[in-house]
Structure 1
Amino acid sequence: MHTTQTKQNLILSLLKLGSEQGLEAISLAALAKENNISKAAIFHHFANREAMIEELFAYCNTLAYQQMATISLAGKSSEVLRRAVEHWHELYATDPMRYFYRIIQSEALTHQAAKAIQKTLDEMLQGQSGVLLESLSESGRLVIEDLDLAILNFSCVVQQFLRRVLLDDQEDLEWEEERFIQSFCALYKGL
């Protein structure tokens, strides 16, 4: 197998296993077995365990940036916000990114790189929310006097919905999201 392909397979295996068991619980022997290579072969690709985890975070961070698509701003405010939430759901629910987001959530308290990535992802969501809400406000589809407060409110609630997606706690989630979007638009007199 090609060296680059083996390295990517190791990262993807670590991603999947780490999301299921936690990164610290994954033994190098289990990772080697999953990839049909020797434990020593892992060190051909990574200097040590920490370098492998750093490479995992870098790989997934790149994937996350590549998957940030433009959300259409056409239509009513509720349609735009619904599309945005559906877009973010897709990012959080599709493998391998689902594994990545699960690892970030579980490792953020103990691993500095995971904490930094979680902060960046939260800021990206807040930034995208800001662009959406500012556009809806400027076009008159929402009447927002305190844009910063509206952005914080919207992005924080959406972050909680996305965390529920990662935890597979999706009972009534679609209904709650729809209710939130309708209430948010009503609060800001959305069209």
Structure 2
Amino acid sequence: MHTTEMKKQLTVSLLKMASEKGLDTVSLSNLAKENKITKASIFHHFANREALVSHLFDYCSKLAYTQQVTIPLGGTAEEVLLRAMDHWHEMYTTEPLCWFYRIVESEKLTHSEAGAISKTLGEMVDGQSRILLETLSDSRRLAIEELDLAVLTFSSTVQNFLSKAMVGNDPDIPWQEERFIARFCKLYAME
């Protein structure tokens, strides 16, 4: 197998295994066994475990960046915010990125790269929320006087829903999200 292909295979294997068991619990021996190679073969592609983990974060960050799309702003405020929610769900809950985000969430307090990525992801949702809400307010689909408060409320609630979706153990999340967006739009409805 070509070096680039093997690096990708090892990275994706580590990604899947670490999302299920935790990054620190996946040994290079486990990774080698999963890929039917020797542990020494891993060192042909990565200098050490830290280089492999760093490559995993870099690979997934680039993959996440390619998933960025523009959220269409046509329609009612509720339609726009529901589309945004669908976009974020697709990003956060589709393999292999959902594995990556699970790792980031579980490792953000103990792994510096995971912490930095978690912060960036939060800032991304904050920024996108600000643009969405500002656009909806400027186009008079919502009447938002305190934009910072509205962004904080919307963004933090969205991030909470996304965290729950990553764990995947609450079947009521879609209903809760729709209800939140409907109430949010009602709160800021044009009079």
TMscore range, shorter length:
over 0.9
Give the deviation of 1:190 after TM superposition: 5.3
In structure 1, C-alpha distance between the alignment counterparts of 2:110 and 2:149, rounded to whole Å: 30
TM-score, normalised on structure 1? 0.97
In structure 2, C-alpha distance between the alignment counterparts of 1:101 and 1:17, rounded to whole Å: 13
Q: Bigger shift: 95-104 or 160-169?
A: 160-169
SS in 1 for 2:152: helix
Mapping of 1:14-53 within 5 angstroms?
14-53=14-53
Q: What letter corresponds to residue 161 of structure 2 in structure 1?
A: F
RMSD: 1.1
User: Which digits, 9 at most, give the CA deviation of each residue in 1:109-149, with x for residues without a partner?
Assistant: 11111000000001001111111111101100011111111
Aligned residues: 191
Mapping of 1:98-137 within 5 angstroms?
98-137=98-137
SS in 1 for 2:86: helix
- 1:185 equivalent to 2:167? Answer no
Mapping of 1:164-179 within 5 angstroms?
164-179=164-179
Kept in 2: contact 1:143–1:189 (CA 8 A)? yes
In structure 2, C-alpha distance between the alignment counterparts of 1:172 and 1:96, rounded to whole Å: 23
In structure 2, C-alpha distance between the alignment counterparts of 1:3 and 1:190, rounded to whole Å: 58
Identity of aligned residues (%): 58
User: Which digits, 9 at most, give the CA deviation of each residue in 1:40-94, with x for residues without a partner?
Assistant: 1111111111111111001101111110111000000000000000111111111
In structure 2, C-alpha distance between the alignment counterparts of 1:128 and 1:117, rounded to whole Å: 16
Kept in 2: contact 1:77–1:190 (CA 8 A)? no
Question: Kindly tell me: are residues 114 and 153 of structure 1, through their superposed partners in 2, closer, same or farther at Cα, counting changes over 3 Å?
Answer: same
Kept in 2: contact 1:78–1:190 (CA 8 A)? no
Question: Kindly tell me: are residues 190 and 83 of structure 1, through their superposed partners in 2, closer, same or farther at Cα, counting changes over 3 Å?
Answer: farther
- 1:145 equivalent to 2:145? Answer yes
Unaligned runs of 5+ in 1: none
Give the deviation of 1:175 after TM superposition: 1.3
TM-score, normalised on structure 2? 0.97
In structure 2, C-alpha distance between the alignment counterparts of 1:169 and 1:153, rounded to whole Å: 24
